Amino acid sequence: MDFELDQDLLALKESVQKLVQEKVAPRAGELDEIGGYLWDIKEAFAENRILAIPFPTEYGGTGGKALPMAIAVEEISKFSCSVAMMLSGQCLGSAAITIAGTEEQKQRFLPDLARGKTLAAYGLTEPDAGSDVASLQTTAVRDGDDYVVTGSKRFITYGDVADIMTLFVKTVDSDTKEKKVSCLVAEKGPGWIVSKLEHKIGIKGSTTTELFLEDFRVPVKNLLGKEGDGFKIAMQVLDKTRTSIAAQAVGMAQGALDCAVQFAREHLQSGKPIGRKQGIQMKLADMEMKTEAARYLTYMAADKYDRHDPDRGRYSACAKAYASDLAMEVIGGAIQVLGEYGYTKNYPVERMFRDAKVQQIYEGTNEIQRIVIARSLLGKGF
């Protein structure tokens, strides 16, 4: 498929580029040092409708498609993965509502999210349950018109600043006592306890939290789908959002390649630019080929999602695994081109290297992606 971007996508790409050049690029290193949620950039993104990208137009968004999301996330990630997480995280935290919510639920939650008035988190991972969703221990017991939720969640992006969380729990059938994975839209309130902020090696401008949920009440009307639909909803969300993680990786790889190319043009050795050395040229060429391949795969996966292609889950897993592995390789290559300079904070590739590692882990480790891909090829029973 030819991915020559149409005028709307080109306009989006250019507008995001301009905003990032103004608001993010000059401060990317500073933002990593400061850490914490980047409220002023959030306001700029909301004002410029960047946070509206994940949402359908009927709820105040700009369309809710995966391909525009990938393009925007890629452009932001060229300079800061932490800042790109603001858009990716809003999509991840709200996607379950877009996918499985009733019309009333969508009208209640999505417009404020699209305006950036409220923020969303995705509450899946627990201390003993990450990729294995069936092992969730957080329970939600029906009590009149509410569920009473008890348990803990770990590695929750924006769990400290989010206003709502698509929360995955085990609901208890009142008749059979069977526990089923279900998904609730939790609104912050008593019992939503932030126990700690994680100290990470990278993406320091994106907060990651551990949460305790103690007698935390969620209205029954906030159940997405039916009790027991949680696993299906979680997988549908990840099919969509993994293309955003792939786009983060592509953007970071491109940013590192751009830095390496500029350095090779300008840095002199024996009075000549190091870019004249054939060894440097071969490394840059390999980095370019692999980055372009990852970009094409990511765009294709996003396009397949938007077209409801039956193979969209496999392609999103392919894109996420390939692009994030590739980003580590390309950014490592950029550090080699820069030599000792690449190992210092004077150049952004040091920060990119730290930021990129998590892309091989979150939203399903790359080992899990390979299982998803293989089972899709082999069929049921494997």
Cβ atoms of 192 and 216 within 8 Å: the answer is yes
Check if 103 is active-site: no
Q: Find the catalytic residue in 30, 227, 363, 367.
A: 363
Quick one: which of 362, 328, 161, 143 has its CA closest to 250?
328
Residues 153/158/162/167 CA torsion (nearest 10 deg) = -30
Please give the C-alpha separations between residue 22 and each of 15, 41, 159, 252, 366, in angstroms, as whole numbers: 11, 11, 28, 18, 34
Q: Is 270 left (phi over 0), alpha (psi -120 to 50) or beta?
A: left
Distance CA 14, CA 145 (A): 48
Distance CA 148, CA 34 (A): 37
Quick one: which of 151, 132, 7, 143 has its CA closest to 68?
7
Q: Which ranges of the chain does DSSP label H, i.e. alpha helix?
A: 7-23, 28-34, 39-47, 66-77, 81-100, 103-115, 230-266, 278-306, 312-338, 349-356, 366-378
Distance CA 373, CA 313 (A): 8
256-278: b (≥16 Cβ within 10 Å) or e = bbebbbebbeebeeeeeebbeee
CB atoms within 10 A of CB 225: 16
Distance CA 73, CA 245 (A): 8
What tokens does 81 get? 């993965």
| Active site residue ranges | 363
